[in-house]
Amino acid sequence: MNFQLDFIEDKVEFFEADKLQTLQKKIESQIDENRAIMLSVHSVSHQMHVNENGQTYFTAVVHFKKK
């Protein structure tokens, strides 16, 4: 029997939330999960949008790479 393991080398994930603290918790949770599969954060990009009612909306893109 021949086993061949393919590891994920790059992974990009998108996050959204209406509060910055919520967005941070979502990202931190996913960092812990990806650490288990040997991925670390390579870069983070984020944006904030304010709609016409004054409500804020936060988004982030996190690029994970193999350690």
The residue behind tokens 């990806």 is 34
| Higher pLDDT pick, 2 / 28 | 28
What is the pTM for the complete model shown?
A: 0.84
* pLDDT tens-place string over residues 16-67: 999 999 999 999 999 999 999 999 999 999 999 999 999 999 999 999 999 8
Contact call for residues 57 and 19 (beta carbons, < 8 A) = no
Contact call for residues 15 and 62 (beta carbons, < 8 A) = yes
Please, which residues have CB within 8 angstroms of residue 60's CB and are 6 or more apart in sequence? 14, 15, 16, 23, 27, 44, 45, 46, 47
30 phi and psi angles, rounded to 5 deg: -70, -30
